[in-house]
Amino acid sequence: MVEGSIREVVLLGLPLEQERRLLRDAANYLAQQFRFKVLPRPLRDLPDLRIDLATWSHPSASLRSFDRLVQSVQARGDFCLVLTARDWLGGALSAAELLNRYQRLLPLPAGRARALDLDRILEAQATLEGAVEAAHDPGLAEDTWRWAVRLCCELEPGALAGTSLLQDAHDLAFFSSGSVEYLEQFGVPSTYAKVRRCLSRMSPQAICQALVTRQPPLVSQMMETALRGGEWPSQSMIAVEAAGW
């Protein structure tokens, strides 16, 4: 079965002049981040998936539930992703979180970045920490490539050869789409060690990008603790694991 992808991203908001301005600013910000045009209305006749960003950003929202929703629509073919918000001042960051998580389904970036060779990136990635994870998860490899493209867009043409950029891309793929599964598979102590290890080697630019990824509350707490240079209390880990985090 051929799975679809997101062919268009549309932003909708309240019909107020101030909100229209904020929505335009949000569209420009997202276009700069993801390197494709964000639309005020659909251009093609495609099935749509409409997501309210207030629901997405609610503390009790389940990322796994959103994953299942996106996968169910993707299984039926290409679609248009419609994001709605009552307040696009905060909605832009929520939209970036969501698009970061599902960026492997997004249109390819425009311009020079489209020519970057996925095979070359994957070959170089084999030397990085986490290569085993990527080898068993094609989605993680795709996300790493997407992050490498986005990071490379900000640098000079030869920057892709640097392993530091590729490590940043791999670590960002962990935060944008891999942390939930990692927590479920390896538990709290190992996940905190992974979070701390990633953040300790990431560039400031990559850390800023990592902070615009949606995490379970526990992983968000881990990131905050690691960035402060703190230790994760062992008793807290035991209590959280016993509660099913």
Domain boundary among 43, 72, 105: 105
**Rounded alpha-carbon distances, angstroms, from residue 101 to 89, 96, 179, 205:** 20, 9, 11, 18
In a domain, 111, yes or no: no
Half-sphere exposure of 105 (CA within 13 A, CB side): 25
State the pLDDT at residue 66: 97
Number of other CB atoms surrounding residue 222 within 10 Å: 24
Question: Per-residue pLDDT averaged across 49-70, rounded?
Answer: 95
Same-domain status, 122 and 235: yes
In a domain, 213, yes or no: yes
Same-domain status, 89 and 157: no
Same-domain status, 94 and 131: no
State the pLDDT at residue 223: 97
Same-domain status, 238 and 131: yes
In a domain, 110, yes or no: no
State the pLDDT at residue 156: 75
**Rounded alpha-carbon distances, angstroms, from residue 29 to 32, 40, 92, 144, 182:** 5, 14, 8, 21, 30
109-134: burial string, b at 16+ Cβ within 10 Å, e else: beeebeebeeeebbebbeebebeebb
In a domain, 34, yes or no: yes
Domain boundary among 75, 105, 135: 105
State the pLDDT at residue 224: 95
Q: What is the SS3 assignment for 238?
A: helix
Q: What is the pLDDT of residues 85-131, one digit of tens each?
A: 999 999 999 999 999 999 999 987 765 555 555 556 666 666 666 55
Enclosing domain of residue 233: 116-242
Question: Per-residue pLDDT averaged across 66-71, rounded?
Answer: 96
Cα gap 78→126, rounded to integer Å: 31
State the pLDDT at residue 127: 60
Q: What is the SS3 assignment for 66?
A: helix
In a domain, 1, yes or no: no
In a domain, 188, yes or no: yes
Q: What is the pLDDT of residues 132-157, one digit of tens each?
A: 455 456 678 889 888 988 887 665 75
Q: How many domains does the chain have?
A: 2
State the pLDDT at residue 184: 94
State the pLDDT at residue 171: 95
Same-domain status, 79 and 150: no
Contacts of 121 (CB under 8 A, 6+ apart): 144, 145, 148, 160, 166, 169
Q: Which residue has the higher pLDDT, 121 or 34?
A: 34
Does residue 188 carry a pLDDT above 60?
Answer: yes
State the pLDDT at residue 128: 62
Same-domain status, 124 and 94: no
Same-domain status, 165 and 213: yes
Same-domain status, 237 and 135: yes
